[in-house]
Amino acid sequence: MSLGSKDWDEICRRRLFVRIPGWNALFLREYIMRLGIIGAGRVGTSFVLAMPSAVEGILCSTKEHTTQRAQSLQVKAYSDGADLLRHCDVLLLTVRDDVIGSVAGALAEALSGDDGACDTVILHCSGAMDLSSLEPLSALGFSVGSLHPLQSFAAPSGDLLRHIYMAVDGDDRAKEAALSLVTSLDSKPLFVPPEERVLYHAAACFCSNYVVTAVALGQRLMRRWTETDKEAAQSLMPLLKGTVGNLEGTDRWQKALTGPVSRGDTGTVAKHLEVMPADLVGPYCAFSRAAGELSLENGTITENQYEVLKEILAMAEGVHNE
């Protein structure tokens, strides 16, 4: 059976092959994209678990950590970033945002004058950073870009990289490499202008970090009436799942808003604040004010109800801050 162009495109997508345009399938270069990873934390490890056969090797902050992590993941351990870069087609920098620049600078210094290494594409995986941190490498002729999985990684998992959106940026060649990785993981690309990366990351924080913050505060209150943290979590989980279900039922999430603020029940809000622990007054007021603005936009409360709500919240915050 002969394979058509679409068949080979699918093989390339699944296996991270590079398809040479215009080549006959019989002469397809069996060239698996080799990935290098600097910083094998939760995100870096997830990439290894998602595509183990494509990973050339990893490098962590210390030799000991690199050796341990490489053994556990059954990949090659590298002791030198420049050496790892020379042996891969795409190098992922999955390190903390505040060290991307220093890692890029160290690589650029080690690779200065090595023209043969410039074939490697270098992608950082930060959500908030633009490409300025990779400028030392770009100045040497490297294709640079970014690939940020729009996902929360409480623990490493290859499955967390599949069927999600990933923010892609960079020069044309870097974008092409990033898109190959995205599609190979059955995920979708999201293009965010460099000048809006920080705002994009803030949107992600609202939907992940601050959701955890909100439910953790709710669990802290519920813990007063349960014997364990586990029981408090179990008691609130059906409510949380129901809320997520409501979100899944609408494309405009603010329409899923319920509760006293959404119906203009300022009396209940005032009662909440009368008994609220002092350390939770600030967060409660901030959430209530935001909920009030959304409720006003939804048309579920009037301007007058919104003004009354703001007065109640301002009074509570004023008393709390005295």
**What are the boundaries of each domain within the chain?**
33-193, 206-321
> Could you tell me the pLDDT band of residue 318, with boundaries at 50, 70 and 90?
confident
Strand order in the sheet with 121-124: 55-59, 35-38, 90-93, 121-124, 143-149, 165-170, 188-191
Task: Answer yes or no: are the C-beta atoms of 165 and 189 closer than 8 Å.
Answer: yes
Task: Answer yes or no: are the C-beta atoms of 184 and 55 closer than 8 Å.
Answer: no
Task: Answer yes or no: are the C-beta atoms of 8 and 27 closer than 8 Å.
Answer: no
Size of the chain in residues = 322
Which pLDDT tens digit goes with each residue over 11-20?
A: 444 445 444 3
Task: Answer yes or no: are the C-beta atoms of 13 and 124 closer than 8 Å.
Answer: no
Which pLDDT tens digit goes with each residue over 174-233?
A: 999 999 999 999 999 999 988 999 999 999 999 999 999 999 999 999 999 999 999 999
**Segment among 21-35, 191-205, 246-260 with least mean pLDDT:** 21-35
> Could you tell me the pLDDT band of residue 116, with boundaries at 50, 70 and 90?
low
What is the rounded CA–CA span in Å between residue 245 and residue 11?
36
Which pLDDT tens digit goes with each residue over 147-183?
A: 999 999 999 999 999 999 999 999 999 999 999 999 9
| Beta carbons within 8 Å of 261's beta carbon, 6+ residues apart | 269, 288, 291, 292, 295, 301, 309
Q: Would you say residue 51 has pLDDT above 80?
A: yes
33-193 has which fold? Rossmann fold (3.40.50)
Task: Answer yes or no: are the C-beta atoms of 150 and 202 closer than 8 Å.
Answer: no
- Kindly give the pairing relationship between strand 121-124 and strand 55-59: unpaired
Amino acid at 124: H
Which pLDDT tens digit goes with each residue over 272-288?
A: 999 999 999 999 999 99
- Mean pLDDT of the 50-64 span: 95
